[in-house]
Amino acid sequence: MHRILSKTKGDRWIWLIVIMLCVISMLAVYSSTGTLAYKRGVGTESILIKHFFMMVGGVALMYIAHKLDYRYYAGISKMLMVVTIPLLFYTLAFGSHVNDASRWIAIPGTGLTFQTSDLAKLALITYLARTLSRKQENIKDVKQSFIPIMGSVCVVFILIALANLSTALMLFGVSILLLIIGRISVKQIAVVCLAGAVLLAGVIFLGPRRATYMSRVNTFLHPEKVDKDKSFQSDHAKIAIATGGVAGKGPGNSTERNFLPHPYSDFIYATIVEEYGLIGGLFIIVIYLFLLYRCIKIVTKAPKAFGALLAAGLSFSLTIQAFANMAVAVGLGPVTGVPLPLVSMGGTSILFTSVAFGIILSVSRHIDENEALKGAGGKEGAKKVVVGEILEVA
């Protein structure tokens, strides 16, 4: 165990958060997949084993991502954007249709599906962090800085929003936060927001899923005026939370898991609260808030703009997604298909969330190494710090 821990670097609290979320995920998924196992004609243990190996794969990717110097992600971001935009177009045109939405690409010969919006989130955040950090000297220049930034944000937003509006809105919000941190002027940010509002109106009123979006918003705002079939998911999520009480029904004793359509992904928080009560629900909230706190500390300590923007963007994305999932479960927002990061059962969501954690830990590792070198003093330590600073500028 000591040998394993000695090879992991970065913020130890974030590693602990990851371990806790993985344990919670295993317990919640095992408890909530009984109906899914019955429909597939398999045992619950087989689904749990598959989920376990997906978690192991995610942790392995996290380890690899945290060992790679975070400054190399600046170059990778350009390649990711070049790959992501065509993939989003391909998904809209030829992707697998589930619930009237084309969000997935089937991976030939594996039986697995790949959700391109997960890649798009990582690509856009890393690209914005790179662009904002490298354009600081002429950040007010419209042609050199603003147009490339606005174009990337709006293109990715519209391509995701046509099939997955909730994810697109969260990513757009994270992008605006990065623009604020990156010293983009208020006028330019207002222009981006206006462009986003126009695109959002077009998606809601003219997009291929306009009927679904309008129905979900109407169900959320006026649940008493719609058919019970339309409010079925939110109603049973509220029942699960209400019957959980303070201490919950106990692990494996959820009853609403048999009625909720996706108790292991979209509504896994409702299942957790039903089984572990208000205490369990608050514990999950505290974990994600503590994650945000640790990431903010990394942002404030990062010596260069790229590391700070990268850690800020990824941490905002993870926490906003987490609270969006929990808000839907408790009835504070319309029903969406947003998973709870590193807790909900899923494939690409777990893998890309793990990579995001790994990149944040890479930034933290770089900070720790710099502090250790500066603390050691001496000519050799000073030389290493200077080399690191030169690489950062390059």
- What tokens does 341 get? 């990061």
| pTM of the full structure | 0.89
Residues 190-248: tens digit of each pLDDT = 988 999 999 988 888 887 777 878 888 888 877 777 777 677 788 888 899 999 989 88
**Measuring CA to CA, how many Å separate 303 from each of 9, 257, 354, 389?**
18, 47, 24, 9
- The rounded distance, in Å, linking the Cα atoms of 331 and 328 is 5
- The rounded distance, in Å, linking the Cα atoms of 292 and 320 is 10
3-state secondary structure of 294: helix
pLDDT at 299: 92
Strand partners, 104: 96, 115
Residues 99-148: tens digit of each pLDDT = 556 677 776 666 667 788 889 999 999 999 998 888 777 766 667 777 88
- The rounded distance, in Å, linking the Cα atoms of 380 and 388 is 13
3-state secondary structure of 56: helix
- The rounded distance, in Å, linking the Cα atoms of 287 and 75 is 32
Closest by Cα among 226, 233, 101 to 167: 101
